[in-house]
Amino acid sequence: AQKITQTQPGMFVQEKEAVTLDCTYDTSDPSYGLFWYKQPSSGEMIFLIYQGSYDQQNATEGRYSLNFQKARKSANLVISASQLGDSAMYFCAMRLTSGTYKYIFGTGTRLKVLA
């Protein structure tokens, strides 16, 4: 069964420091995509970064990078130089690329950046 696991319900990080949010996934499909979203208190889900299962290099988008370890089935999000505006819920999601339009989400991690 496909599943996304985020084991950290909440995290604190000091402003300007880096933080890693954990995500593990489970699928037997060889082709899939992994996404990270940010959800501020306003409710809207904001796309951050994408990693394909066949991508050789870890994805990076500005201060966001994805530490993709395929053998361990993990796709951790690293936020460098944390800012107060990074305080939000963060969701890891997986999409199978075998023709389905379904996305599977984790339970999320609430990140609080401290001044």
Partner 1 sequence: ETGVTQTPRHLVMGMTNKKSLKCEQHLGHNAMYWYKQSAKKPLELMFVYNFKEQTENNSVPSRFSPECPNSSHLFLHLHTLQPEDSALYLCASLPGGSTDTQYFGPGTRLTVL
**Which residues are near partner 1 by CB under 8 A?**
4, 9, 33, 35, 37, 42-47, 50, 52, 91, 93, 95, 97, 101-108
Minimum CB separation of residue 55 from partner 1 in Å reads 9
> Which lies closer to partner 1 via its Cβ, residue 28 or residue 98?
98
> Hey, what are 32's tokens?
């899939």
Q: How far is the CB of 12 from partner 1 (least distance, A)?
A: 19
Cβ closest to partner 1, residue 9 vs residue 85: 9
**In the bound complex, what is the minimum distance in angstroms from residue 115's beta carbon to partner 1?**
27
95: left (phi over 0), alpha (psi -120 to 50) or beta: beta
| DSSP run (H or E) holding 103 | strand 103-105
Among 103, 28, 17, which Cα is nearest to 73's? 28
Minimum CB distance to partner 1 smaller for 85 or for 99: 99
Angle (CA) 110-44-103 rounded to 5° is: 80
